[in-house]
Amino acid sequence: MSILAYTPIRDGQFTKLTYELLSYGRALADQLSTELVALSLGKTEEDQLKTLAEYGADKILHSNDDRFEQLDNRAFSKAISQAAEKNEANIVLMANDFTGKALAPATGVHLKAGVVSGVIGLPESTDPFVVKKKVFTGKAFARIQVKGERKIFTLETNSYEITQTSKEAAIETFEPQLDEGDFTTKIIEEDKQTDKILLTDADIVVSGGRGMKGPEHWQPLEELAEVLGAATACSRPVSDEKWRPEEEHVGQTGKIIAPNLYFALGISGAIQHVAGVSGSKTIVAVNNDPEAPIFEVANYGIVGDLKEVLPNLIEAAKAA
């Protein structure tokens, strides 16, 4: 038996979420006294692949096939299933990001596996196999028993501490058996924001809500983010109004993030927003309404008008 962790490549690199997944996989493999195998599909350099061992992989499988440049549910899930079968992996791990959310159910069908998404922490017990996840937008926990021999878990993003090891691992070429009919979709256009810090990877996030009063007032927020080396985010009405791009929307229906520091600027703190950011280590809120619910979850709160507070924050960040 082994554990297979699917480690996606983004622009030739691995992201923080991949290293988080491997750190989790390492701890789970130790708990079950088994081997952790990392699987990557698509083009990347050997140096990058070697980093997978530094975060816990015992073995690295890699397919350099050009056709893996774009995510295709059918082809990728088939390839992951074949790798799991070849390595007798009874547990397959993926990050609970858009890739994992898309691939876990499809892979579950191929492997006839029990699938649990958004798992947090190591299993409470392994016989029976019980995992935990947040439910009701983080207000409660569910403990789920996974029956059956094969299991697939997606790990909630930013929920497990990254640990580096001094391991090395062999890199093996993996050639899945796929034909052209397995590649069913083709992305014809992608609007990439390559110069930006990836929201789900960021240590600091500066986020704006309707209190920012319109897209024309976003420049100071972006300046604060730039000074702090932070990613930018927003509440749902802001992306609905097209003040900011949809990929910045955080919350129940957007991205779930857990940075070390989250700035909520002009955000009321509705339950659906907080559901996406409550995992942040420290929340700083700026709002002119002292009764705004965001202050109930914030570690630091500033009651004031953003027009005055934001320039001061920028100056303070520059001076720090």
User: Does residue 2 contact residue 88 with C-beta atoms inside 8 Å?
Assistant: yes
Q: How far is the CB of 239 from ligand FAD (least distance, A)?
A: 8
270 part of the interface to ligand FAD, by CB under 6 A: yes
Q: How many CB atoms lie within 10 A of CB 103?
A: 24
Residues 271-300 that bind ligand FAD (CB under 6 A): 272-273, 276, 286-289, 292
Tell me whether residue 121 or residue 237 sits nearer to ligand FAD (CB atom). 237
Q: Which is nearer to ligand FAD, 106 or 303 (CB)?
A: 303
Is 40 annotated as a binding-site member?
no
Taking residues 216 to 255 in sequence order and writing x for each that binds ligand FAD by CB under 6 A, - otherwise, the string is: -------------------xxxx------------xxxx-
Pairing mode of beta strands 59-63, 89-95: unpaired
Owner of token pair 């992201």: 15
Q: Is 210 in the site for ligand FAD (CB under 6 A)?
A: yes
- Give yes or no for a contact between 98 and 210, defined as CB atoms under 8 angstroms apart: no
Q: How many residues bind ligand FAD (CB under 6 A)?
A: 25
Q: Does 123 bind ligand FAD (CB under 6 A)?
A: no
Site for ligand FAD contains 267 (CB under 6 A): yes
How far is the C-alpha of 248 from the C-alpha of 297, rounded, in Å? 21
Nearer to ligand FAD, 78 or 236 (CB): 236
Tell me whether residue 273 is annotated as binding.
yes
118 labelled as ligand-binding?
no
Q: Is 312 annotated as a binding residue?
A: no
Residue closest to 162 by CA, chosen among 231, 70, 75, 260: 260
Closest contact distance (angstroms) between CB of 247 and ligand FAD is 13
Closest distance of CB 251 from ligand FAD, Å: 2
Is 271 marked as a binding-site residue?
yes
Give the residues lining the site for ligand FAD (CB under 6 A): 209-211, 235-238, 251-254, 266-268, 270, 272-273, 276, 286-289, 292, 305-306
